[in-house]
Amino acid sequence: MATRARAAGACPKYPFLVRFCKSDDDDSSSTYQLYSSISKEWYLVDAPPELDDTRIHCSNYGWLLLSRIDRLFFFHPSTGNTIDLPNLSCSYNRLSFSAPPTRPDCVVFSMMDTCVQHEIYNGNIAILPRGESAWTCEKLANRATDSL
């Protein structure tokens, strides 16, 4: 049985398993469930509007890396803080980051690849160090033909 909780009060320093779901009693509201592996309990939390129509790409250091059609941004569920990122001009299907986005050594990584039989044959990577206003995009070498 899930316990309804406020995100800030229900989020200690250890990580939670997060599951998103629609509320049974109201189709317009979204909730997410936090599972504590220590207490073995589920906590039910109302989803903030920042999560509406978003895709979660990565979760690390308490931050979510999210995208919408026109926006790429970090969101911290416990504090409600958001950090917008510059638009990414190249395509991507994977995103990650190296440190909390509030730290000066944070780097966001993006990768788009096309694989055939576990061989990458086409794609690009993009890197965004914290504080930069534009991504650096590079094409990946064609590994399938390089080995011939």
- Of 46, 82, 53, 83, nearest to 67 (Cα)? 53
**At residue 140, what are phi and psi to the nearest 5 degrees?**
-80, 145
Model confidence at 82, pLDDT cuts 50, 70, 90, reads very high
What H or E segment, with its residue span, contains residue 43?
strand 41-46
- For position 73, what pLDDT does the model report? 94
Mean pLDDT of 70-98: 87
12 has which bridge partners? none
The pTM score is 0.69
Cβ atoms 99, 108 nearer than 8 A? no
Model confidence at 134, pLDDT cuts 50, 70, 90, reads very high
Q: Which of 15-19, 30-34, 137-141 has maximum average pLDDT? A: 137-141
Between 121 and 5, the higher pLDDT residue: 121
**Terminal Cα-to-Cα distance of the chain (whole angstroms):** 57
- Of 109, 74, 75, nearest to 92 (Cα)? 109
